[in-house]
Amino acid sequence: MTKENHELPYGGHPPAVDSDTSRAAAASLEGSASRLRARVLKYYRECGALGSTDDRAEFVLGMRHQTLSARRRELVLLRVLRDSGRRSKTRSGRTATVWVVVP
């Protein structure tokens, strides 16, 4: 995944809502968002056709929910990941989307 192949969502910057704390959090990720996004994509590629839920990816990668879900959302917007149509239980027993890499 390179910038030449895909237009990055949010202008290539971590997204923020209209609050000082959200903007500060986004600014703190400015240098690492692309590295984290690549790490999340690598994980999903390793999962293959089985895919993974965000919950499982958070656990395996040791990432907080907010960090993982934001990077996964960017990958969906880039059309690199998609909803598999399958659902799986999370650690809390709730049902979650299983995400897979777009072939």
The answer to whether residue 4 is domain-embedded is no
Give the number of residues written for the chain. 103
Distance CA 94, CA 32 (A): 30
Distance CA 69, CA 52 (A): 12
For 86-99, the pLDDT digits (tens) are 999 999 999 999 99
* pTM (two decimals): 0.72
Tally of domains in the chain: 1
For 33-70, the pLDDT digits (tens) are 889 999 999 999 999 999 999 999 999 999 999 999 99
The answer to whether residue 19 is domain-embedded is no
Distance CA 41, CA 71 (A): 9
The answer to whether residue 9 is domain-embedded is no
Distance spanning both ends of the chain, measured CA to CA = 13
For 16-28, the pLDDT digits (tens) are 556 777 566 655 5
The answer to whether residue 69 is domain-embedded is yes
26, burial (CB in 10 Å: exposed 0-12, middle 13-18, buried 19+): middle
Domain hosting residue 46, numbered range? 33-98
* Residue 43: alpha-carbon gap to chain centroid: 10
